[in-house]
Every structure is written in C-alpha cells, then in structure tokens.
Structure 1
Amino acid sequence: MHILIGGYTKHESDGIYQFDFIGAGNEAHLEQRRNVVKVGGPTYFQKDGDFIFTIKNEDGHGGIATYENGRLVSQLLHEGSSPAYVGINKDKHLLYTANYHTGVLAVISYDEKGQLTLLDQVKHESRALGPRPEQVDSAHPHYFDQTPGGHLVSCDLGQDRVDFYDFDGQHLTHLASYQNEDGFGTRHLVFDPSGSYFYVAGELSSQVNVVKFDEENWMFQNVATCSTIPASWDQHNGAAAIRLSKDGKFLYVSNRGHDSIAVFEVQDDHSLKLIQRISTYGEFPRDFNWDEDEKYVVAANQNSNNATLYQRASDGTLALLVKDIAVPEGTRVLFTD
C-alpha cells in the first residue's frame, strides 16, 4: 500500500510525493518519501491504474493534466487559475473539475491512453453572493462530483449553494439547488450509503449541515446543523475535507485553524453527535483520507509541511500513530495499492 500527497508548489514542493505504508497496528508507519510526479500546484488529483489526473499550473496557465509513471501524457490548460477539485468516474472515464476562481464547472473525458477531451462546461453566475469577505467578489464552486443517482453535484462557497446537474454525455443541464444559510461557505459534501441524506461542510461557518434528499423529485429537508469547532474557539477556522465511513456511521471533518479533525457519530435520525476532536499535530489540515478498509487515516498539514498517521477504531475514534511526517505544502491525500 502507498500514500500519495500533493499540494501547492510555492515553496519547497516539487509536486506529488509517494510514501510506502509499512507495518500494521501500532507499528504502522510511512517510509521512503519520493517525488513521483513533478508538476506545479497539484492541490487535488485522482488516480486510475497508472494514470494520475491532477490539477496543474504552469506559466500563468491552469488546468488538468494526465501523468503516467511520472511522464506527462496529456493536458488541458487555459490562461488563469487552475481548478480546485477533480472528481472521477472510472467506469465512464470521466473527470469533473470545479474552478474556485473562474466559477467554471467542467466535464472531461479520458481514453485508454490518458488523453483528455473537454466535453462541456458551465459557469456559475454571481447571482446571490454571501455576506462574508471571501464571498462578495464572485461565485466560488469548490466541488463537482457524482450523486448516488448518477447526476452531478457542485458546492458553491461564494453563494452558499449546492447545485445539481444532468449530463447526457455531451451537455450539462441544471436540475435543482439547495440553499445553505448566508455565510455558510458551502465547500464539500458526502452522501450517506442510502443516497437519501447528504452532509455539507461549511468552510466559513465551521459547520456541517445534514440534509434529507429525494433525488427523484428534487426535494430537500434541512435536518440539523452542528459546529466542527468548540464554542469557545474565537480565532480563525475553516472547515475543509469531509469524509463519511462506508457504513454511514461516522463522519469526519478537518478544521484549518483549530488544526483538528472533528469526529461525529451519525444518529438514527442522521443528526450528528460529536465524539472526538483530535489534533492534526500541524497547521492547516486541508485534506485527510483513509485506506480501503478505513483502518488508517493520514492528514496533511499544509502550512507546517507535515503529515500525521492515525489508527481508526471500531467506535470511529482516531488514535495517533506517527506525527511529523515530512511532506511539503500538502493539500491532497490518496491511498493507493
């Protein structure tokens, strides 16, 4: 098993790094850090076989690129900022990108050689911007990926909104929207195993909103909202990554500022009960992820250039195994074979 970590390349980083996962239980640790893809700004990426599909910036241009065994295969770059998120459908060979700065959502196909083709894109117009300073300039889609029913969904931080789309193979069509509270800062979401609920991370409010969801009739019910940080916390914080265990019983959210992972137990009514907040032993944890069996978790701390390894217990809680794993400017974590 390996772990890939990539992120910004503003200081020391050369792109995407790979670690070997060694041992098990309390002896588990990461070894042999090596730069496997030299690329500018791989703040998010996906993997399919030998292909890594990554965000890329180069000489004032941004976009997405395919690398195979460290070699550039294909790229789609445009003038200006690169996307913030990449989703993937491995069965259909489709990628979904959300560009925080330009407001553009895109669907891109890739073939068996990794060649990329833009299929369609839409731009979020700035119609109902939120009240916070991070929102008043424009729409800011931060997430674009699949729904349980085969549609697509985006999170717009600038407009506190979740938008749903149909994609017929050629064109994107808007279907419905769910509106979060003003200033929520809609960033990322996850769906429960039944597909009847989703959990939205609010970056600017440091909250999670639980929503009951009917994908056939596009009906939404606001179930509950809870904080990811202590009530006494009065410094800056931004909620970032959100993960739900495959059994739907435990939800995890990273806090950039409080520098922690909040662990929630999902109740019978799908509301959330906080059961743990654990330090990430570093600064600004943008992403964390786990292995296929969800036994181990790695969090990347962007500002302190380190990652942290945890073991996950059957009750959902995390226990520290190793901290201070050196890796520069990490914003994306992915376990691989």
Structure 2
Amino acid sequence: MAAYAYTGCRTSRARAARGQGIEVWSVDNAGSWRHVQRLDGLVNPSYLLVDRHREVLYAVHGDEDYVSAFTINPRNGMLALLNRQSTEGRNPVHLCLTREADFLVIANYATGTAAALPVRHDGSLVPVANLLRFEGHPGPRGADQRGPHPHQALRVPHTNRLIFPDKGCDLVRIVDFDASQGQWVAGSQTWIQARPGSGPRHAVLSADGELLYVVNELDSTLATYSLDSEGGCRLLHLCPLLPVDFQRHNQAAGIVLDEGGRRIIVSNRGHDSLAVMALDSATGVPLRTHWVSTQGRTPRFITTDPSGCDLIVANEDSDTIKAFALRGMPGQSAGGLPRTLAETGSPTCVAFYSADCRTDAH
C-alpha cells in the first residue's frame, strides 16, 4: 500500500528561511522518498497533522494567525486546499484533535491562548468556538519568557484532557475540554510548576498514561512526572540532555518515546544531537544517556515512521531529513549511518499518511 510523507517548513524572510511550502513525497517499501508535489505560496506551514479518520491534513502557519485544511488524494498523496480559518491568536505552533475528532485544538504561542475549532464531517474547519486565555507570571529569561507561551497541545489518550507545556511561564498546564458543549471545562485547569527558567516545550505520555515526559527547552533538561486520573502530578526525575563538557548555546526540541516504551529520544539544537535515554523497566525514569549526531544542524523535529523502525529527523538549518534505524541506536544491535531521505528548505515537521496506516506528527 502506498505511503506518503509531508514536510512542513518555514518560508519567511524574517526567519531567514529557505522553505517553499508543504512538500509531498511518496515513500516506497524500502523507505526511500520521491518528491511528488509542492504547495507553494504558503507562509510558514510549520506544523502538520494528518487526521486519523479523514483524508485531511492540517497546517498551522507560524508567526501568522490562521490554520489551513487540505484534502489528501489517497491515490497519489497530493494535497488540495479545503479551507482556512483564523486561530484568533498569533504564531500558532502546534495542534491536535479531540477524542472524537470533532474539534481541532491549536496552541497560539505569541498570544498565550488555546483555540478550539469545530471540524465538519468532510474535515473542513469552522471558526473558533472557544478561546482559552492562559494567565501566569513570566519566567526569568527575558525575551524567551514574556508571558504565557503554550508550545504544544497534547491530548491524553481516550479523554478530552489537554496538556499544554508553557515555555513562557515555566508551567505544564492541564485542562479538560467538553466537546459536547464546545467549551473548556470551567475550573478544570491545573498545572505543574517547572523549574524557573526551564521553559517546558514538548511532552509525551507513557503508554499507560501514568508518566509524563517533558522537554525543557531553555535549560536543556528532561523532567519525568507521575500523573493520576484526577490530574495530580509529582516530579519523579530531572536529568540533563547535554554532556557535562558542552558549554555552548543549546535549545532542546523534539521528543519521541519508542514503540516498545524502552527509550526516550530528545533532539538538541546547538549540540545537534539526539539524546537517547534507556528507561528503567520498573519505574519508567531515564537510567543513562547516549548522544548521537544528527548529521545536520538544528534538529527541530523528530518522529517515527509508520513502521516504527526508523526515527525521522528534520535538520532545519542544514535543509535535510534524515532517517536513523532505531535498532542502530545505542543499546541496540549495530546499525549503519543515517540515510538522507530528502533535501528540502528549512524543514520543521514531518507527517505521514497511508491508506492502511495513518499516523500523526507527534
């Protein structure tokens, strides 16, 4: 069955970007990519999401204030614009669907809000139904922490509970959404207070939903929290994402939990590495860290391919998409050098679609 990859990027002069739009690639059985389409004329289609139930791709436009929906042609993977809607906030950076895929939730980084847009049966978007404004005290890092800056919208599986790592206020916010009413549940918001100046960016949940792993962008650490069904939490572990002898500037970025739940992988922009951490089988906390070069500059985004065999890395400042065999990571059987899947300007996200295996960007 044919599979397709979609790469988002930055395009604007303000970002000194080289991207030209959303790129579409066919993926063969060996995992090689072939370019099939470019949607140009788009401004910073920086984060992508493929709907699991409909043949639709959503893209937020970084530094702007809108989101686009595109239909996917299942015969060739090509995209066509379905519609666009305002996000009612600046610099949308991440998005997810609610449990029944009836709302699209978007994190607006610059204006510190979360927008919920109803989704029609065909995947097209309705104007924002509800806007949640976050409040809080800025962290100590000046320009990076001017106020609430939600950097991700992560849904807890089988629920409509949303997690928003807030880089600006050093918080991980947890809030419930009532899809039947199209509203955020009043009084449901709780939060985790992160270390001052840490800058929570992205997170993943363990398979059982009992552990939350949070990448702190600004101090390059990984925090492990325990969660309960009522939204309570406790810090279990905090570990550095850099070698002790690395003293230059770094910003931690993407995070992946491998399919077996045995390892966490985080990308480092500056050190230009993957921090690969084995997890304790009893507690789930990281035991040790190995570092692997990303073979490129500024690995902004990582994900797994639909097979779960390869880790896909988008090196934003060297314009490459690389594939690392997960079995070749430290602690596994030997693997070769990473493969270059594509050369494309300023890549910031990769999402996949196939008729028999549909996956979202993490």
TM-score, normalised to structure 2's length? Answer: 0.85
Note the alpha carbon deviations across 1:40-68, whole angstroms, 9 max, x for none. 111101112431111136xx852111112
The answer for the alignment partner of 1:64 in structure 2 is 67
Distance 1:316 1:52 in 2: 34
Kindly, what percent of the aligned residue pairs are identical?
Answer: 25
| Change in CA separation of 1:237 and 1:271 when aligned onto 2, cut-off 3 Å | same
The answer for the alignment partner of 2:11 in structure 1 is 9
Displacement, 1:250? 1.1
Distance 1:332 1:316 in 2: 26
Greater displacement, 105-114 / 81-90:
81-90
Note the alpha carbon deviations across 1:302-336, whole angstroms, 9 max, x for none. 11111111111185687533138311111111122
Displacement, 1:22? 3.2
Distance 2:332 2:129 in 1: 40
The one-letter code of the counterpart of 1:167 is F
Pairing partner for 2:223 from 209, 214, 238? 209
Distance 1:272 1:290 in 2: 20
The answer for the alignment partner of 2:162 in structure 1 is 152
Displacement, 1:215? 2.2
The one-letter code of the counterpart of 2:256 is R
Q: Which has the higher strand share?
A: 1
Kindly indicate whether residue 112 of structure 2 is the aligned counterpart of residue 100 of structure 1: no
Q: Is the 8 A contact 1:134 1:158 kept in 2?
A: no
Greater displacement, 315-324 / 79-88:
315-324
Greater displacement, 186-195 / 318-327:
318-327
The one-letter code of the counterpart of 1:163 is R
Distance 2:315 2:138 in 1: 30
Q: How many residues align?
A: 330
Kindly indicate whether residue 183 of structure 2 is the aligned counterpart of residue 171 of structure 1: yes
The one-letter code of the counterpart of 1:42 is P
Kindly indicate whether residue 87 of structure 2 is the aligned counterpart of residue 82 of structure 1: no
SS in structure 1 at match of 2:18: coil
The answer for the alignment partner of 2:58 in structure 1 is 53
Kindly indicate whether residue 45 of structure 2 is the aligned counterpart of residue 42 of structure 1: yes
Q: Is the 8 A contact 1:88 1:95 kept in 2?
A: yes
Greater displacement, 165-174 / 155-164:
165-174
Displacement, 1:275? 4.5
Distance 2:327 2:321 in 1: 20
Distance 1:269 1:79 in 2: 41
The answer for the alignment partner of 2:240 in structure 1 is 227
Mapping for residues 143-292 of structure 1, pairs under 5 Å:
143-148=152-157, 150=159, 151-169=161-179, 170-173=182-185, 174-216=188-230, 218-267=231-280, 268-292=282-306
Kindly indicate whether residue 344 of structure 2 is the aligned counterpart of residue 330 of structure 1: no
The answer for the alignment partner of 1:19 in structure 2 is 25
Displacement, 1:281? 1.2
Displacement, 1:209? 0.2
Greater displacement, 102-111 / 130-139:
130-139
Note the alpha carbon deviations across 1:234-262, whole angstroms, 9 max, x for none. 11111111111233211111111111111
Distance 1:97 1:316 in 2: 37
Pairing partner for 1:115 from 113, 124, 129? 124
Distance 1:205 1:282 in 2: 22
SS in structure 1 at match of 2:105: strand
Displacement, 1:276? 2.6
SS in structure 1 at match of 2:34: strand
The one-letter code of the counterpart of 1:283 is R
Distance 2:337 2:105 in 1: 34
Distance 2:221 2:85 in 1: 35
SS in structure 1 at match of 2:339: strand
| Change in CA separation of 1:30 and 1:115 when aligned onto 2, cut-off 3 Å | closer
The one-letter code of the counterpart of 1:50 is E
Displacement, 1:12? 3.2
The one-letter code of the counterpart of 1:254 is S
Distance 2:23 2:121 in 1: 24
The one-letter code of the counterpart of 1:40 is V
The one-letter code of the counterpart of 1:106 is A
RMSD over equivalenced CA pairs, Å: 2.2
| Change in CA separation of 1:149 and 1:68 when aligned onto 2, cut-off 3 Å | closer
Distance 1:272 1:61 in 2: 37
Distance 2:25 2:288 in 1: 31
Displacement, 1:271? 1.5
Distance 2:336 2:118 in 1: 40
Displacement, 1:14? 2.1
| Change in CA separation of 1:202 and 1:253 when aligned onto 2, cut-off 3 Å | same
